[in-house]
Amino acid sequence: MKYRSLLLGLGLALTVSVPAYAKTIDIAIGHQSMCTDTYMAGIVVKELELLEKHLPTGGDYADVTYNISWSDYTSGGPITNQMLANKLNIGVMGDYPLIVNGAKFQETESLRTLYVAGTGYNLKGSGNAVVVPVASDIYSFDDLKGKAVSTPVGSAAWGMLLKALQDSDIGVEQVSLKNQSPAVGAANIAAGKIDAHADFCPWSELMEFRGTGRKIYDGSEAGVPYLHGVVVREDFAKEYPEVVTAFVKAIIDAGAWIKADPMKAVEQMEKWTGVEKEVLYIYFSKGGHLTLDPTIKDEWVEALKFDHTVLAHEQAIPPLDFEAWITEDFVKAAYAEMGHDYAADKASLVDPVAANSGLPNEIWHARDGISTFGTLPEFLKAVAELEATGAKLNATYVYDKETGLKLFGKTAFFVHTPDGGYETFLRKPEADAYAAEAGGEVIDMAAAVATFAPTE
């Protein structure tokens, strides 16, 4: 598919006369301020006015006035509905909603969208999760048989839940599946009104941080990359290709802003979204769940095709012509115009198991900020000493031995081995298995810290 911006970027002359644009160009964008993996193309671009910085102002755009509007949604499904109604030109959403978006548009006689850029990913699939109330006796996904499970239907978490059920011995028909928005699902978990709730980033970590929920299943167990991206109505992209390229440039700038100072970024994003900075740190810090990356990797295309089969199995989605839907024209043009190496970034893949190996454990002191500790005994000793002084600790962070994922210390399962060593785990079954093999015991963080309590 050839677009005017790509031709110009390649230095090719246009042989047709293109009229100047109307005085006002409306740019309507749908985003999700309560979905961390969309922030790179959503709330950060909006609040820092990064799109305005890159919008074309010369040539046919010399006399244009831009009318930019942002609409905030709780999940990707409503964004697709508004795009179908021609009330939004651009949408930012997760993997399964992206697929539904493309398929629903192709189901119409003439309307189409284009998948033009990514925002962020977790190679192992972390970001979605299934959470149970903290007091629940459920510790394994297999324990959900016959239980009531809620999820925002149409969301990335819904897709993950369908795949997990297909992979398990349970099956969709053996759970009571309820459609609940993230906020409603989280409230029901807090009140113990639902057995489990499947949701997307950062809702499971919000529930963990607030002490209302506990993960029993992480998206990394599904074995499929978790990614988010940007779709644009094709009619808008054809009419204003330079505007779409400008939007991708804004995404690139947003990622650079976050990476330059993650602590400053999460503190600012907390003000914009209401999501606690300690939760955002799990995603945007070094070793966090989210890798910021706008490129469209071959692996993403394969993952999206696989995700489509998951939904097709449940007869929940029409066919999708991926070749017609996905285009790298705009992201390549943005990279070229900004002097960045697209091929290098596209080839890069961050695996948390390798990338997070050896990263230090962290303590976030309310006054002094983040301190790092190379070993778990050093970390636990520091926590014990700080708690003995009455110091306020915002959060603590450790890493899951199995996946490399960053965890809140207070939610991790600690295994204390006979040689005095410690390992940390996201899920109890893995902790139990390791403890049995090593001859150790599974304890919570409070018990682990207690062994290092200062003596008078």
- Cis before 202? omega within 30: yes
Q: Is 30 helix (H, G, I), strand (E, B) or coil?
A: strand
Res 226 pLDDT > 50: yes
Q: Is 167 helix (H, G, I), strand (E, B) or coil?
A: helix
Res 1 pLDDT > 50: no
Ordered DSSP codes for 66-98: EEEEEEE-SSHHHHHHHHHTTS-SEEEEEHHHH
Alpha helices in 261-403 (DSSP H): 262-273, 277-284, 298-313, 322-325, 329-338, 342-347, 352-355, 376-388
- The DSSP secondary-structure symbol of 168 reads S
Q: Is 143 helix (H, G, I), strand (E, B) or coil?
A: helix
Residue 456: the pLDDT is 61
Partnered with residue 68 across adjacent β-strands are: 27
Q: Which amino acid is at 40?
A: M
Q: By mean pLDDT, which of 5-9, 12-16, 190-194, 350-354 is the weakest?
A: 12-16
CB pairs under 8 A, 24+ apart, for 430-433? 430/401, 430/402
* Run of H or E including 157: helix 156-167
pTM listed for this prediction: 0.91
Res 305 pLDDT > 90: yes
Chain Cα centroid distance, residue 418 = 38
Res 12 pLDDT > 50: no
Residue 169: the pLDDT is 81
Please write the tens of the pLDDT for every residue from 373-428: 999 999 999 999 999 999 999 999 999 999 999 999 999 999 999 999 999 999 99
Residue 9: the pLDDT is 47
Q: Which amino acid is at 311?
A: L
The residue behind tokens 């200062």 is 454
Taken in order 222, 224, 230, 232, the sign of the CA dihedral is negative
Please write the tens of the pLDDT for every residue from 132-142: 999 999 999 99
Mean per-residue pLDDT of the chain: 93
- What structural domains does the chain harbor? 4-121+226-347 (3.40.190.10), 129-222 (3.40.190.10), 356-450 (3.30.450.410)
Res 371 pLDDT > 70: yes
In which band, very low, low, confident or very high, does the pLDDT at 315 lie, cut at 50, 70 and 90? Answer: confident
Residue 313: the pLDDT is 84
Residue 20: the pLDDT is 62
- How much of the chain exceeds pLDDT 90, in percent? 87
C-alpha to C-alpha distances, 30 to 98, 180, 228, 252, nearest whole angstrom: 13, 20, 14, 18
Q: By mean pLDDT, which of 17-21, 173-177, 190-194, 401-405 is the weakest?
A: 17-21
- The DSSP secondary-structure symbol of 126 reads B
User: What angle, rounded to 10 degrees, do the helices at 76-84 and 95-107 form?
Assistant: 20
In which band, very low, low, confident or very high, does the pLDDT at 2 lie, cut at 50, 70 and 90? Answer: very low
Residue 314: the pLDDT is 78
Please write the tens of the pLDDT for every residue from 21-63: 669 999 999 999 999 999 999 999 999 999 999 999 999 999 9
CA distance 48 to 103: 32
Q: Which amino acid is at 407?
A: L
Res 17 pLDDT > 70: no
Chain Cα centroid distance, residue 29 = 18
List the structure tokens of 348. 């890069």
List the structure tokens of 354. 């390798």
CA distance 6 to 206: 42
In which band, very low, low, confident or very high, does the pLDDT at 222 lie, cut at 50, 70 and 90? Answer: confident
